[in-house]
Structure 1
């Protein structure tokens, strides 16, 4: 079933659409909101007030978890960083490194995942802004965000190496 949406030209903030959106639903000005899927309409109606402050802590956590799940499901590099984090922390536990050392490895890995989430958010906002067109400033923004993730990942590898290798090498030599 195809549903056509269009913006009301008089206000540019009212979305005129047939159901399943409830009457009186307003969004910010989204000129690119041309949706043909009922599932997408439901998603938009569920998140209609997502740009406002969440009314309670539970909803804040729900939105945050949705962002993490989105990154895990759609971003290959986020899945790779998650796997590397699990490996690094597991190796630290197995090698019985100190609590401080394990905390440093964990925080460094978490920093990489935070940078990847910010990179994903920035890429989404840039794509929303420029659409399908090419813009040099959009390229610069995306490249710099990806570079930040790369610098963080290299730092995490160095930190994990400095902390885990001194315990790992003697263990491997005894095998």
Structure 2
């Protein structure tokens, strides 16, 4: 087993953080989906020439979903470690709740996107007819 301890310097910490990002992108299909779907509101914000505040809110929401997916993955891995991949009702409960937190965050983000973009789509629709 490898040595466990503090990172010797800032650059080692950054390397481990980048390793973590690489692992989650490689191993978690949901993370890749969230990252790709996060491009849609960015493109819409560009297309509709969103205000600075709208950009901030949109970017915040995208990162909130991604952070929640990180936390969900952490919970899943810790639960699997503790249970050694054996089924336990409390393990299922913890995993389901963590996944639910991601889903609630996604719904929140969709609601925010609707508040920002639906009026833009309505205006575009009336310009086109």
Structure-2-length-normalised TM-score: 0.90
* 1:170 CA displacement: 2.2
| 2:86 paired with 1:133 | yes
| 2:72 paired with 1:103 | no
Q: Which runs of 4+ in 1 moved over 2 A?
A: 168-175
Once the two structures are superposed, what CA deviation does each residue of 1:29-81 show, in whole Å capped at 9, x if it has no partner?
xxxxxxxxxxxxxxxx4xx33xx332222222221121111111111111111
* 1:93 CA displacement: 1.5
Once the two structures are superposed, what CA deviation does each residue of 1:10-33 show, in whole Å capped at 9, x if it has no partner?
xxxxxxxxxxxxxxxxx4xxxxxx
Q: Residues 113-124 of structure 1 correspond to what in structure 2 (within 5 A)?
A: 113-124=66-77
Q: Distance between the aligned counterparts of 1:172 and 1:71, measured in 2?
A: 39
Structure-1-length-normalised TM-score: 0.68
| 2:118 paired with 1:170 | no
Which stretches in structure 2 are left out of the alignment for 5+ residues? none
Largest Rg, 1 or 2: 1
* Structure richer in helix, relative to its length: 2
Q: Distance between the aligned counterparts of 2:62 and 2:44, measured in 1?
A: 13
Contact 1:119 1:146 in 2 (8 A): yes
Contact 1:119 1:145 in 2 (8 A): yes
Give 3-state SS (helix, strand or coil) of 1:170's partner. helix
Backbone CA RMSD of aligned residues? 1.5
* 1:161 CA displacement: 1.1
1:147 corresponds in structure 2 to: 100
Q: Distance between the aligned counterparts of 1:86 and 1:61, measured in 2?
A: 25
Higher relative contact order (CA 8 A, sep 6+): 2
Q: Residues 22-101 of structure 1 correspond to what in structure 2 (within 5 A)?
A: 27=1, 45=2, 48-49=3-4, 52-101=5-54
* 1:169 CA displacement: 2.9
* 1:132 CA displacement: 2.8
Which stretches in structure 1 are left out of the alignment for 5+ residues? 1-26, 28-44
Q: How many residues end up aligned between the 2 structures?
A: 128
